Amino acid sequence: MIARHGVIVLAAGASRRLGQPKQLLQIEGETLLHRTVRLAMATQPLDLVAVLGHAATGSVSAIADLATRCVEAPATGGGMGASLACGLKALSASCEGVLVLVCDQPALDATHLRAMLTRWQKQPGSAVASGYADTWGVPALLPRPWLSTLTLDGDHGARDLLRRRKSEVQIVVNEALAQDVDHPSDLVLHLKERPH
pLDDT reported for residue 18: 63
Name the residue with higher pLDDT: 128 or 191: 128
Residue type, 69: R
pLDDT reported for residue 192: 45
What confidence tier does 196 reach under pLDDT thresholds 50, 70, 90?
very low
pLDDT reported for residue 161: 81
Segment 4-23 shows an average pLDDT of 82
Segment 112-128 shows an average pLDDT of 97
Exposed (0-12), middle (13-18) or buried (19+): which is 76, by Cβ within 10 Å?
A: exposed
Give the lowest-confidence range in 18-22, 55-59, 81-85, 95-99: 18-22
What lies within 8 Å, CB to CB, of 156 at 6+ separation is 79, 80, 81
Q: What whole-number percentage of the chain has pLDDT above 70?
A: 82
Indicate whether 5 pLDDT > 70: yes
Indicate whether 155 pLDDT > 70: no
Segment 2-11 shows an average pLDDT of 95
Indicate whether 151 pLDDT > 70: no
Q: Tell me the average pLDDT of the chain.
A: 86
Is beta strand 47-52 parallel, antiparallel or unpaired with respect to 127-132? unpaired
* Residue from 116, 134, 114 nearest 170 by CA: 116
Fold designation for 5-193: Spore Coat Polysaccharide Biosynthesis Protein SpsA; Chain A (3.90.550)
Q: What whole-number percentage of the chain has pLDDT above 90?
A: 58
Domain locations in the chain as residue ranges: 5-193
DSSP helix, strand, coil percent of the chain (3-state; round to 5): 40, 25, 35
Work out whether the CA dihedral 119, 109, 188, 84 comes out positive or negative. negative
Segment 21-49 shows an average pLDDT of 93
Dump the DSSP string for 138-174: EEEEEEGGGGGG--S--S-TTHHHHHHTGGGEEEEE-
What tens digit of pLDDT does each residue of 63-103 get?
A: 999 999 999 987 655 678 888 888 999 999 999 999 999 99
Residue type, 175: E
pTM for the model: 0.89
Phi, psi of 99 (to 5 degrees): -90, 115
What confidence tier does 21 reach under pLDDT thresholds 50, 70, 90?
confident
CB-CB contact of 187 with 177 (8 Å): no
- Which stretches within the chain are classed as H helix? 32-41, 56-62, 79-90, 110-122, 159-164, 184-193
What lies within 8 Å, CB to CB, of 152 at 6+ separation is 74, 76, 78, 81, 82, 85, 86
d(CA 25, CA 54): 14
